[in-house]
Amino acid sequence: MESEDLTIYADFFHKAPEMLCVAGFDGLFKELNPAWERVLGFAPADMLGHAAADFVYPADRDGAEAGARRMVAGESQVSFEARFPAKDGSLKWLLWRCAADPEKKIFHGVVVDITPRKMTETALRESGGILRKILNLAPMAMAIVNIDGTIEYINRKAEQAFGFAHTEIPTLDKWWVRAYPDEKYRAEVVHRWNVKLNKAILERTEIDGGEYNITCKDGKRKTVFIFGVIAAEKVFVMFDDITRRVEAERELRESESRYRALVETTRTGYVIINKEGRVLDANTEYVRLTGRRDLKEVLGRNVLDWTAPHSKENNAAAIAQCARDGHISDFEVDYTDAAGGNTPVEVNASVVARGGVPQILTLCRDISARRRAEAEIRGLNQNLEERVRARSEELIAANNELVAEISQRLQAERAKEKLQERLLQSQKLEAVGRLAGGIAHDFNNILVSISGYAELLQDTMPPGAPARADLAEILLETERGAALTHQLLTFSTKQEIKLEVLDINSIAADSEKMLKRLIGANMHLETHLADGLCSVKADPGQISQIIINLIINARDAMPDGGRLIMRTRNAELGEENGSMRLVPAPGSYAELSVSDTGGGMTPETMSHLFEPFYTTKKPGQGTGLGLSTVYGIVSHARGGISVESAPGRGTTFRIYLPRADQPA
């Protein structure tokens, strides 16, 4: 049997509505189609390898085994009825028709569920009234027809399905005319039915089923599978509406026809392979690409059979990759025909599921013309490339000289601009510093007098006096004024500086508790202090002042709360530090950074960041000296400052202080 015939047989075996089976002469099931599970509820896999007799109802087992013995004895065809318990506990009457194959020692069976017929016969024996009640409850259209052609009864489902009342179709002749208005088709239907009816009467079997196109009362047409049984000189006819199934099958056939026409008319090779590379289907163009003449020459074979030797390894790897990843694109492979000629092919493939089985759908395009064009272009460009390469080398050398000269000029101009900017900043700070230093001492003396008088007054006040609170506020304000004076003195560098060898980590750790009180409950402070941080030579009070000013500045940038991160680490700075706001000399430094998750700063704000008395806060909320003070302290310590900020991205200040044992 050819592979196509085997495919058709397998398709029929698995899609047949009747139960089909293959069993050995030992009675064991070898093959079962899916219809068994639909009728009995048992999966075919659960029944394979078991004897059919194991599933027969005990009271009917002798008859079933007698039928099997008749076949083994040489009888070619055997029919018998037996009850089978279903998985849900119900009993199903099954009619077995078996044919033996003595050479292979197997028999093929067609098994029909005749439970409705048995129910009908039982109902007839018990009572006509009960029968009609049962039929009216049946989910299938049914009718009882006398042998003389009188329609004795139709159930409710039949009236609903076709629209005819019993009074409108009292006889078969009336039914023929109404259900089959086309005379030619009606004659064909009547002939077919009478042949099946006479055969059933002679052989004492049920009436073979068949498909018929019935015209309903409202004019709609339905495809119905009609079959029946004969009992008590009456014909019990059953109608199974299969219109949707037939339409679905027709649409599927039409879709497959259109699909096949499209595939065969395209100039692109089309092939379906399994994950091992064996061809399951292909179009004419793909057959041409392989160098073969007929589809039969490629079906079932591996694509590596016509892959050129130098491409076999890559093609096998591409198939495995596609099966693993689900697709492959623009893969090129050479196919070899029977005469040894090569055809270059571009492959694009995707994995699809057909019947639950993954297969690789592949589109192949002949790229011979493209390969020839590429070869011609390479030949034409070979000499041109050499000339262009030589000329390019000359131009590159000249350009490099020009770039070097321009770069030197730009570096000189940038250095000049930086020096001018530093000079201007120093002049500003020096001018403001002279002003601040000139008034700081006098202002501090005034504050000391105010504070002293306020303390004397407070001592004279009895406990609980309302004025004590006012005097406390005066003292608090004098402390703030003193702090401002301290900043002014630091800014003007007139305050006495005590240089010591310090560990910034210790100062940061000691300040952490105070800083958490400063920032408030809606902010989270994180500290990451590096192990082995180098020591610096500075005034401890000024280092604390740097930390406090940076933390307060970050806090004010996050009115709705956020995260503050303080870090330390060792840093090596080289010559290229042009992005810094205060540029230190190359060397080893201890880095202190403070980052916030606030709203960030615009370039305009950053350009005025370290100017004295510049602030973006509302009046009364800041002096504008915090960052200027930081700038003055770090500048005096020959350190550096870097700022990173952008709107919506927060801000990070990095302070660099030189290592204590580093030469000045």
Rounded CA gap, 542 and 368, in Å? 79
Q: Indicate whether 234 and 154 sit together in one domain.
A: yes
Residue 492 has pLDDT above 80, yes or no: no
Looking at the structure, tell me whether residues 542 and 646 fall in a common domain.
Answer: yes
Burial of 373 from C-beta contacts in 10 A (0-12 / 13-18 / 19+)? exposed
**Domain limit, last residue, from 366, 393, 413:** 366
Q: pLDDT grade, residue 494 (50/70/90)?
A: very low
**What is the number of alpha carbons within 13 Å of residue 399 lying toward its C-beta?**
6
Per the domain annotation, does 410 fall within a domain?
A: no
Looking at the structure, tell me whether residues 514 and 580 fall in a common domain: yes
On whether both 238 and 176 belong to a single domain, the answer is yes
Q: Which of 592, 590, 586 is nearest to 659 (CA)?
A: 590
In a domain, 377, yes or no: no
Cβ proximity of 15 and 312 under 8 Å: no
Residue 578 is assigned to a structural domain of this protein: yes
**Residue 33 belongs to a domain:** yes
Report the pLDDT value the prediction gives residue 510, as an integer from 0 to 100. 83
pLDDT 10s digits, 280-315: 988 888 888 888 888 888 899 999 998 999 989 999
What's the mean pLDDT in 400-413? 75
Q: Are residues 519 and 635 in the same domain?
A: yes
Q: Are 650 and 597 in contact (CB under 8 A)?
A: yes
Confidence check: pLDDT of 97 > 80: yes
Residue 513 and residue 601 in one domain: yes
Q: Is the pLDDT of residue 447 over 90?
A: no
Q: Lowest mean pLDDT: which of 87-91, 199-203, 431-435, 504-508? A: 431-435
Has residue 602 been placed in a domain? yes
- Mean pLDDT taken over the chain: 81
Contact 620, 627 (CB under 8 A): no
Instruction: Tell me which amino acid residue 408 is.
Output: Q
Residue 325 lies in a domain: yes
Average pLDDT over residues 348-364: 87
Q: State the pLDDT at residue 52.
A: 80
Mean pLDDT value of segment 359-385: 83
Tens-digit pLDDT profile for residues 574-595? 877 667 878 888 989 999 999 9
What's the pLDDT score for residue 163? 93
What pLDDT shows up at residue 427?
55
Q: If DSSP codes are grouped into helix, strand and coil, which group holds residue 111?
A: strand
Residues 653, 545, single domain; the answer is yes
Last residue of a domain, one of 63, 83, 113: 113
Residues 90 and 180 in one domain: no
181-199 pLDDT tens trace: 999 999 999 999 999 988 8
Write out pLDDT tens, residues 234-251.
898 999 988 888 887 787
Q: Which of 195, 213, 246 is the last residue of a domain?
A: 246
CATH at 14:
3.30.450.20
pLDDT band at 569 (very low <50, low <70, confident <90, very high): very high
Instruction: Say if residue 106 is in the same domain as residue 124.
Output: no
CATH at residue 517: 3.30.565.10
Residue 346 has pLDDT above 70, yes or no: yes
**Domain assignment present for 309:** yes
- What pLDDT is recorded for position 436? 57
Average pLDDT (429-446) is: 58
What gap in Å lies between CA 176 and CA 234, rounded to an integer? 18
Our count of domains for the chain comes to 4
Rounded Cα gap, residues 49 and 67, in angstroms:
19
358 strand-pairing partners: 353
- Output 51 or 565, whichever has higher pLDDT: 565
Residues 630, 519 share a domain: yes
- Domain hosting residue 572, numbered range: 497-658
Residue 286 CA to residue 292 CA, distance in Å, equals 9
Q: CA 30, CA 43: separation in Å to the nearest integer?
A: 14
Quick one: 526 and 654 in the same domain?
A: yes
Mean pLDDT of 345-357: 87
Residues 101 and 123 in one domain: no
Average pLDDT value for residue range 504-515: 84
Assigned domain for 428 exists:
no
Does residue 423 carry a pLDDT above 50? yes
| Predicted pLDDT of residue 425 | 58
